[in-house]
Amino acid sequence: METEHKNNKRVYLDHAATTPPDPRVVEAMLPYLNTHWANPSSIYVEAQTTRRAIDQARQSIANLIGANTSEVVFTAGGSESDSLALRGVLAASKRRGNHLITSAAEHHAVLDTAEQLEIDGDADVTIITINSQGQVDPNEVAASVREDTVLISVMHANNEVGAINNIDAIAHAAREKNPHVLIHTDAVQSVAHLGVNVDELGIDLMTFTSHKVYGPRGAGALYVRSGTPLAPQALGGGQEERRRAGTEDTAAIVGFAVALNIASHERETNLAHERTLQRRLIEELPKRISLSGITGPTSLDDRLPGNVSAVIGFVEGESILLALDLAGFAASSGSACTTGSVEPSHVLTAMGVPEDLARGSLRFSFGHSNTDEDVNRLLNELPSIVERLRELSPIATTEAPAHWQPWLQS
């Protein structure tokens, strides 16, 4: 796919939406698609091979995140893991309470699950605000913790603006108020980039997924600390120690483990490369486009490597994306999961970005195969696209309204 992009002179700048599978991952998966396809729960000898492959993948992933093997539950992806964490813990903790705390910046897999739990009367939900850079304040979380708080779910790194949260500080502050509270983090975007360790983060549950780390789509995991109450949400078979029923996708699980392993070994090189491209675009974009600004953390230390999010005044993000697509670029406006919707990003509006400016949001996310040349091309094309769109707009002026000022750098 990536090679195809290159040959067609297409530039893929949407690695936060999904990543191309690493050829080494595909190679490792093939035997489990072609030959070793037996149901791992069966008792015959063919099944022992697939069972062993899953056990090894679980062991490898557990080692990489500092967990025990029995604490890794395979799922079909990040959304399922988020849903299992919230629903599973609340359903198993009814005697302790039903208070759930989460943040306004979460992925919809968490926010919509929390909302549905509340509608169904299964949770009393508190949504914590975020600051203007997209981060959660540990003290705000602690201030919301009650005696009946069962679970706190705060993402490790935000998929739209790249803001990294201090999960350890959040967990610490919350437990000072109520030592029984359980902490879940969605580490879908951070697991490859930052190299997470469950003890260092101080969490009880963690969501991560294969297709954001150059693995295949269709495999994910939920880390569940030993002793954490969790009611299964998919019932039937006894797979995953009765925590998630369903015949395992051996090939996808093997690919997931190989992808995470590669990410771990090549982290430093990839990080440095993505930081270089990211820094250049963050510095240059506002210089080349009037009435624009970078959103998210100002310090790169607080920002996911590879993420560049921006707002551009007097243009619709979706219109820019269509024009960029025609010019050969694949990018995103806010979250890919909400592409097609005309609502401004819930993350940007929670940060305080005015709605009329948030409509002009863009997200670029770099990956291994991007080059300096990709950034050059983007910086050459984007200003003229914006200019063309503004010429068509009846409301565009050269002056920014006063309420945009704090968000613009040009």
Ligand X SMILES: Cc1ncc(COP(=O)(O)O)c(C=O)c1O
Which of 78/367 has CB closer to ligand X?
Answer: 78
Residue with the two structure tokens 């604490």:
71
Give Cα separations from 204 to 84, 155, 226, 229, 252 (angstroms).
13, 13, 8, 10, 25
Interface ranges with ligand X (CB under 6 A): 77-79, 82, 107, 109, 155, 159, 186, 188-189, 209, 211, 220, 337
Q: What are the distances in angstroms from CA 123 to CA 114, 128, 244?
A: 8, 15, 22
The verdict on whether 396 is a catalytic residue reads: no
Taking CB atoms, the residue at the shortest distance from ligand X is: 78
Cβ distance to ligand X smaller for residue 178 or 338: 338
Shortest Cβ distance from residue 97 to ligand X (Å)? Answer: 25
Structure tokens at 196: 């997470």
Q: How far is the CB of 346 from ligand X (least distance, A)?
A: 13
Nearest-approach distance from CB 409 to ligand X, in angstroms = 26
Which of 26, 104, 169, 337 is flagged as catalytic?
337
Provide the minimum distance between the beta carbon of 109 and ligand X in the complex, in angstroms, as a whole number. Answer: 5
The least distance separating ligand X from the CB of residue 188, rounded to whole angstroms, comes to 4
Rounded Cα gap, residues 193 and 263, in angstroms: 8
Phi, psi for 137 (deg, rounded to 5) = -90, 120
Choice between 96 and 156, CB closer to ligand X: 156
Q: What's the closest the beta carbon of residue 211 comes to ligand X, in angstroms?
A: 6
C-beta closer to ligand X: residue 230 or 252: 252
> Closest CB to ligand X among 150 and 155?
155
Enumerate the active-site residues: 337
